[in-house]
Structure 1
Amino acid sequence: MQSKRSRLLLPELIRLEALIETFPTRVKATELARFQSGTHAYPSYLIELAEFDPAKPSLLLTGGVHGLERIGSAVLIAFLESVLQRLEWDHGLQHQLSQLNLLVLPMVNPVGMANHSRSNGNGVDLMRNAPVNCEEKAAFLVGGQGYSPRLPWFRGNPQQPEAESQVLFELVRQKLFQSPFSLVLDCHSGFGQVDRIWFPYAKSRKPVPHLAELYRLRQLLFDCYPHQAYAFEPQSLHYLCHGDVWDYLYDESLHGTTLFLPLTLEMGSWNWVRKNPFQLLSSLGLFHPVKPHRVKRVLRTHLTLFHFLIAATASHQEWRRALYPRMLRQEAMELWY
């Protein structure tokens, strides 16, 4: 565990390690790596609630890829707190979670979080660091730049991905690619006025091969929760970029037998700023709710989405069996492309 001084720099790490210590028989915590920043070494923990079973479908929840977007990590830790408390008495949840592998990686980039930086300790934006290039015109700078690590969105060397990127790649390859079906939800903030669920591609405006499955997942979410407020859409509707991790891993998955569907939750943080413009005076202000009552609201808002994804993963065979791929793909093309 971390030293006292180091923990003070990362309150999310304090909460996560407290969970690990409080529920030692329910939580399997694996330290995937330690990332150095000055005299401190920050662990990146993978949380599982049971031994991994490659015969089961898998759901991976990730956060903290961009260090400034700490609310993503906080949302995942709040979700874990809720799940672990319920597992003490909720037989229904116990049964449901026994049907899948649930993996949570709350802090992909702990050094960036500790340093209040979007990038990692080397100044690299991990979501621009994968070895994949935009096939069309990427957004200027925002889409990934190779000029300098002093500027945001620096790609680094995509042919030699950063240690944090490699940890994420190997986790997906060793776990999710071994499952028959897997979903990912990667939690971010800092864009837009509404909460968005994005799917690949970020490198191109062309549709992905599994567009029908993604459109069906959207239908399920909207049918089951008609009063939800998410926009569910391809990232390419907003901007294109180089080096997207999920583009890279999705394309790699096409060479195997698994069905791998990565999603990104982009929390609409501009609303937080609109209601409290003074928070822009803080480095975290564009990415974090800041006001305590807004933080609490965000921490509880996405619990329904997480439990929907658990159900969709556990029951993937049922909703996929009812697919009409050609019809669904046509509807998706008319909606998004």
Structure 2
Amino acid sequence: MNPLDPLHLGKLGFGGAGIGNLYKAIPDGEALATVLAAWDAGIRYFDTAPHYGLGLSEQRLGAVLRDKPRDEFMISTKVGRLLEPNAAGGRDSEGFDVPATSRRVWDFSEAGIRRSIEDSLERLGLSHVDIVYLHDPDVHDLQSGIAHGLPALEKLRSEGVVKAIGVGTNSAEAALECVEAADLDLLMLAGRYTLLEQPGVPLLDRCVERRTGVVSVGAFNSGLLARPEVPDDAHYNYDQAPPEMLERARALASVCRGFGVELPTAALQFPLRHPAVVNVTAGATSPEQVTTNAARMEEPLPEELWEAWRTSGKAPGSD
């Protein structure tokens, strides 16, 4: 057991963006079946956020988890974006295929954070959440997040409102500032330490020193590493992958193939090789995706694969 994982999150977590209709709408029944498949696969850590589908992800996740024994799973949500009524209507403009019945309002104040948690609990139908992350402080106002948001989270933890606090971000630089500024239990880092690229290594090394566990998300680099064979239309960083990234991903797929391993399997397991990483959380939009991810996480991989990766030019310091 990783000493930085006192919450016992397990190796694989379930990310809730997909069931919030990220990029495409999925029916309620499919979304609920996907969460249930995660439970049946033994996953006991679930992550969500108000941002995901304007609360839809929280609603769907809670619809399944509220019927499960509360002491048998861990759930995290995020604060920083309040949902306010939106009379203008229309469709959401931030990547989720949902009606814009609400609008997101940035608020890193203690009052805003407390209200955000209360609103999340209402949507989830749960009495409490275990972990709260300050969501994307670098996107809004990093210094405000550090000056106001993080102290508010530390206060909530001291009051017993939540068990653990952290920051969720795509930026290794912003994450490092937050790790240095507060006593964080966890950091949810999107990308920045994947089979393809590792700019987050200095951050992860510092997290070990600070005893801050890292939950790794984005292990597939927005889909570039999600399939055994890399297609021409693969995405990277939420956009069409440039030719040089397609080439690098295909080179990695070839290395994996030489050991009888599929690229997504290596990509999913890779982040756990750093001692700071306590969990890899992956999203899914179907039960099949969940069961495939769970099987990939448990597949034994030869140590020789990682040695071949290190000599392939994709490891830190190998360029």
- Normalising by the residue count of structure 1, what TM-score does the alignment of the two structures yield? 0.33
TM-score, length basis structure 2: 0.35
